[in-house]
Amino acid sequence: KHLPWIYTKKDNPKSLLNLARSSDQGLRCLGVKQLSKHHDWEDYQYRNIAQALDTRTMIGLARSQDVDPRFFLPMPKAPPSKVWLEDEYRTLISSLQNEDLDKCLKHFATKALQLGNNADERDSLFSFGGTGLEFAKSVSSVPEERVEIVCLQALASHSADFRCCQNIIKMGGVQLLQQTYTKRHKSIVIRRQIAKTLGNLSVHQCFHEEIIRAGWVTVLSRWISSSDLTLSLHAARTLANLDTDFVSCTYEDGVYLIHPIYREKESINADIVFVHGLLGGPFKTWRQQDRKGPGADKSSDGTESVKKGTYTFCWPKDWLAKDCGNIRILSVEYDTDLSTWNANCPFETEKRGLTVRASSILQKLKKADIGSRPIIWVGHSMGGLLIKQILSIADDTPGLDNIVNNTVGVLFYSTPHRGSSLAHLSNQASLIVAPTVEVKEMGRDSPMLRRLHKDFQQLVMEHGIPCLSFGELEKTQIRTPKLKMLIVPPESSDPGIGEFHAIKTSHLNICKPWDRDSELYTETLKFIRRCLLQGRIENILKAGMTFKDSDR
């Protein structure tokens, strides 16, 4: 056998493929890396490799940046359907129902089945996640496609349940997704929902073979480099779960890998976890501040600026990852609403409380290997309260104390430590009809918030955790132009711990820097770098090592 370094010097496809199939995990990764660098072979050489690829190598190539698409065989043709796609979805969703299924899943299924059965309703819109307005803007004008989207959203919701996943596989759900993609491959909404469903299926290794055999790795290898952030990160999550040869953790529903989405040779030294707030999202909350459009006071979505390379839809991914090396960035997703009238599911009141949400997120983050290295937490508004609750639960739970012990920094953007003006006004003056649990919990001087903050202060003092907080100084428009308020005034956003900066911006923009030179971003970056250095020092001390002169 040749020495490994000889293989890396060769341009022979077979030699590199043999290296990628090595029994040694390190050599396999080296082989995949060298294969992925080649873009100048003949078509037949790529075709030969594609036909000979084993599963591990194929997934490794799919998670390699700028890989040549000729390494992957086309997705196999899905078996032709004898009935309408919506009828197949209706049959599949019906098969997922059982007596002890989550009430919300039953609710979603009922809505999807009603929409699919009633031809008169095919022009209506029903949204599983996000507001109806956002959903309406994103769907096609074709009624048949709208029904398929609603069914796909219901399927994606069910795929978060393991028993439903088993039935989805058993009933040919992966093949049904193939048929849908073949028919609607131009629809970004459908592609996102398919990728989300595949991501949920990929959580369980027993379903990996089914996903791979259906040819989804080929499609995911394209989606991961998509300019559509949501599609890209859904694909990144799925491929990371499939890549068991390189990734030792699992990204469950609601936990997204923001960086690195590709295989990286550098080791990960710290984790940064972003938690959005009320009505926020794992991606949209962390975009750059919107630019003004040509009309007066009209905001632009930044599309033109993106084309010019001057705007980012996710500053943690595009800025922070470049400014701080050797980090992993995760973003957490959970569903929120202001009013129970608008809630996606009317039966999930008990799930919306801060403690229950925090416990669920904590368990998912534990499976994503949070706690094995230094952690920096970043929260906007209610997200900051969730972070405090997560740390409180972890501190009191045997086996989870490493999450607190490894926390080296917490960053708050307008977190209502002492309550929110919006929640207070809603509770007192019915500004919001039928406010949700999360709104009620953020009432001014809430006993629950006082207890939570007292516990957090004690935890920070005991563990010496640095904190940085930002507060808003500009009022946010509520409902009508006449009603404006500070959603979280400085007396509530200032936790009385660590540094506090009051910024002349609104509640929505407090976590959206204008650019990389803005005070918001420069202070954030400075704080994170200090925390990363502290984490590195603590790791060295824990390992019983001392600094060398060159490291000082």
Residue 164 inside a domain? The answer is: yes
SS3 371: coil
Same domain, 234 and 283: no
- Spatial CA neighbour of 409 closest among 284, 319, 499, 332: 499
The verdict on 110 and 181 lying in the same domain is yes
Helix segments in 119-158, DSSP class H = 132-138, 143-158
Q: Are residues 500 and 472 in the same domain?
A: yes
Q: Is residue 490 part of a domain?
A: yes
The answer to whether residues 346 and 370 belong to one domain is yes
Examine the domain organization and report whether 276 and 209 are in the same domain.
Answer: no
Instruction: List pLDDT tens digits, range 109-162.
Output: 666 666 645 433 333 333 333 333 344 334 444 567 888 888 898 899 899 999
Are 263 and 219 part of one and the same domain? no
> What span, in angstroms and rounded, lies between the C-alpha atoms of 497 and 469?
9
Which residue in 176, 184, 177, 182 sits closest to 146, CA to CA?
Answer: 184
264 with 217, same domain: the answer is no
Token output for 81: 């359907």
Q: Write the DSSP symbol of residue 81.
A: P
Tokens of 274: 């972003």
CA 519 – CA 501 distance, rounded (Å):
9
pLDDT of 279: 80
Q: How far apart are CA 151 and CA 108, in angstroms?
A: 9
Per-residue pLDDT of the chain (552 residues; tens, 9 = 90+): 445 555 555 678 888 999 899 999 988 998 999 999 999 999 999 999 999 999 999 999 999 999 999 999 999 987 777 778 888 888 888 888 875 666 666 666 666 666 645 433 333 333 333 333 344 334 444 567 888 888 898 899 899 999 999 999 999 999 999 999 999 999 999 999 999 999 999 999 999 999 999 999 999 999 999 999 999 999 999 999 999 999 999 999 999 999 999 998 788 999 999 999 988 899 999 999 987 644 434 444 555 555 556 789 999 999 999 999 999 999 999 876 544 434 456 555 555 688 999 999 999 999 999 999 999 999 999 999 999 999 999 999 998 999 999 999 999 999 999 888 775 565 544 544 445 666 666 667 788 899 999 999 999 999 999 999 999 999 988 765 667 888 899 999 999 999 999 999 999 999 999 999 999 999 999 999 999 998 787 777 666 654 444 454
9-61 pLDDT per residue, tens: 567 888 899 989 999 998 899 899 999 999 999 999 999 999 999 999 999 99
As separate numbers, helices (DSSP H) first and strands (DSSP E) second, the chain gives 26, 9
> Using CA of residue 19, residue 24, residue 27, residue 28, what is the dihedral sign?
positive
Assess if residue 518 is contained within a domain.
Answer: yes
Helices (H), 442-512: 447-463, 490-493
The two three-digit tokens of residue 27, written as one number: 């050599």
- Asked, for residue 78, whether it belongs to a domain, the answer is no
**Structure tokens that stand for 491 in this block:** 């007396």
Rounded to an integer, what distance in angstroms lies between the CA atom of residue 357 and that of residue 335?
10
End position of a domain, from candidates 23, 40, 71: 71
Q: Please check whether residue 364 lies inside any domain of the structure.
A: yes
Q: Measured between alpha carbons, how far is 288 from 202 in angstroms, rounded to an integer? A: 31
Distance in angstroms between the alpha carbons of the first and the last residue of the chain = 43
Q: Provide the residue count of the chain.
A: 552
Give the burial class of 43: count Cβ atoms within 10 A of its Cβ; 0-12 exposed, 13-18 middle, 19 or more buried.
exposed
Coil, strand or helix at 410 = strand
Look up the CATH number of the domain holding residue 205. Answer: 1.25.10.10
Whether a cis peptide bond, with omega within 30° of 0, leads into 282 is no
Does some domain include residue 549? no
Phi and psi, residue 455, nearest 5°: -65, -40
Query: How many structural domains is the chain composed of?
Result: 3
pLDDT in tens, 77-124: 877 777 788 888 888 888 888 756 666 666 666 666 666 454 333 333
Whole-angstrom distance, CA of residue 439 vs CA of residue 424: 9
Cα angle 307-60-219, degrees, rounded to a multiple of 5: 55
Quote the pTM value: 0.87
Query: Which residue reads 């953007």 in tokens?
Result: 413
Domain boundaries, position 28: 4-71
